[in-house]
Chains A and B, each alone.
Chain A
């Protein structure tokens, strides 16, 4: 399955996955080297697997176990004394207005933010791939730079760009006689402001993925369409988007996962306010866990979020599979 043909990895290499063998010749050779490389294979794997086991696998399981307990501040030093409370944390979660609001806010972030990021990223890719020959590097660097910059620093800057008294946008608005809203201080505007910043920051990733995908579309397909008299809009709908579908779905999956986990933007820019209007699930989990030390409760939150993420990812990957068949 080829999504995007990156310049770095030859396509042939990708198809040679270990379980894609099965021809008789390969199996025989495989069995011979199996005995030869068993020990070395595991020796090369061990360092990674040990770190992975201790710092990832163990915490994943521990979070699940903690979510069924009343794990609190005193258990940080005495974890085994936490009491088993069954599904109490989970039932409590779904009666907790604050958590439900966080869940709603996170969904809002995803539902508005993901399509905006994908569409603008795709349009930037098409623009830079088909229209811009000179200074192409400058444009790519400019569009991609927000992706690599430290989010805390850019969040701090955006806070001032959006400031109602002497911020950039407010001042520009007053120039033309308008009054800009108090973006981060208004329950209506705070979330759209955070989403705008996230879109600004992440569209570069989608753009780069789409450029790689666009370059994998054979030029003669486009030429043929143009000769048949297809306009730009028809070319976009009839050729570019269908052929980019795997890339776009992959970009959608990673953007969705990223936005479901959104934490830094509300933490730095609004601290979840005003009146919890930008409280996301990750921020709620952080607060419950590390400000109030309701760690059992926070673990249940983490798992609800995890299940949501897995569900959406599986759904999106299934779409991806159906469409490439």
Chain B
């Protein structure tokens, strides 16, 4: 709505005098709207009970307090959930980096019978919604005794089609001559893959690392299903369970929820801000299909 007026009101020449301040005003207002929930969350986490329920709302805490955080750490085993999320995300990321680059290399650089069929399977897998698989996956994991284990949380995400697609696209741009020269020198395929191709596709690996790690960190429905024991909850599952708990004390509970949300979101936002260039690159690459 706000941006619509921007395009209509834009004068023809690029160097319009009124145009620039107007556009900055519109963009800044939009940015503020986008950031408002984050600001509300971050500030509320440090509010006292009185400030949390004050009407009109208090943006800046009249008294800053860490009570919400201490109460949260008292009631919930946040370090354990944090550790669970971290372990699962690291394992998922490492296995995706390895297996997706291996298949990506085969699809980009090795001519083998059935290659186009394998690639077709990868492309088809990109389109299958994850929710289609969770019912038998639960039965399977239960049968294997992997409910409430890290393996049960990791294995379904250990090799994703998006990673293969991304790695293949990048590896296509590695010159064939380079690989031929190494082969003439007697290098084996594993050596070529590991010592020549992998170092050349580091930007792609960085992009894949970020996307896989965050995808795992933010994943909700599978950890919700695959864990019953609170000791194995990931952060989002613990937070949702706490948020939907009817026994949660009402006034103080709200501040604790804001503190919990902040603790879940903060690492993600920090990583994103540092590495934001790779994000936009990854999204743009995914759009290349």
Q: A161-B40, A285-B131 are in contact. Are A208 and B235 (CB under 8 A)?
A: no
Contact of A4 among B23, B40, B204, B284 (CB under 8 A): B284
Residues of chain A contacted by B115 (CB below 8 angstroms):
18, 41
Contact of B289 among A8, A250, A309 (CB under 8 A): A250
Q: How close is B100's CB to chain A, nearest CB, in angstroms?
A: 7
Contact of A290 among B11, B12, B56, B138 (CB under 8 A): B138
Residues of chain B contacted by A39 (CB below 8 angstroms):
112
Q: B199 near A: Cβ within 8 Å? A: no
Give the interface of B toward A (CB within 8 A).
3-4, 6-14, 19-20, 23-24, 26-27, 30-31, 34-38, 40-41, 44, 52-57, 98-100, 102-103, 105-107, 110-116, 118-119, 121, 125, 127-140, 142-143, 155-156, 158-159, 161, 164, 169-170, 172-173, 189, 193, 203-204, 207, 214, 217-218, 220-221, 225, 235-237, 239-240, 243-244, 254, 257-258, 260-262, 264-265, 268-269, 272-273, 276, 279-285, 287-289
The 10 A-B pairs of least Cβ separation, nearest first, read A41-B112, A131-B23, A62-B136, A123-B3, A6-B284, A59-B133, A212-B284, A44-B106, A153-B261, A13-B173
Chain A residue with Cβ nearest B188: A40
Q: How close is B277's CB to chain A, nearest CB, in angstroms?
A: 9
Residues of chain B contacted by A25 (CB below 8 angstroms):
none
Contact of B220 among A126, A264, A309 (CB under 8 A): A264
Instruction: Determine whether the beta carbon of A289 is less than 8 Å from that of B135.
Output: yes
18 A-B pairs, CB-CB below 8 angstroms? A18-B111, A41-B112, A44-B105, A48-B100, A51-B159, A55-B155, A77-B143, A150-B217, A153-B261, A161-B40, A166-B53, A209-B283, A260-B129, A261-B131, A268-B244, A295-B139, A298-B135, A306-B132
Contact of B287 among A38, A47, A247 (CB under 8 A): A247
Binary interface encoding of chain A residues 79-99 relative to chain B, with 1 for a CB under 8 A from any of its CBs, else 0: 100000000000000000000
Instruction: Determine whether the beta carbon of B7 is less than 8 Å from that of A63.
Output: no
Instruction: Report the Cα distance A213→B74, complex, angstroms.
Output: 49
- Most A Cβ at <10 Å: residue of B36, B268, B288: B288
Residues of chain B contacted by A221 (CB below 8 angstroms):
none
Main secondary structure of the interface of B (DSSP, over half): helix
Chain B residue with Cβ nearest A149: B265
Instruction: Determine whether the beta carbon of A127 is less than 8 Å from that of B26.
Output: yes
Q: How close is B71's CB to chain A, nearest CB, in angstroms?
A: 16
Instruction: Determine whether the beta carbon of A4 is less than 8 Å from that of B288.
Output: yes
Residues of chain B contacted by A138 (CB below 8 angstroms):
31
Instruction: Report the Cα distance A127→B208, complex, angstroms.
Output: 29
Contact of B55 among A130, A174, A205, A231 (CB under 8 A): A174
> Which of A107-115, A140-148, A183-191 touches B?
A140-148
Q: How close is B87's CB to chain A, nearest CB, in angstroms?
A: 17
Residues of chain A contacted by B57 (CB below 8 angstroms):
166, 168, 171-172
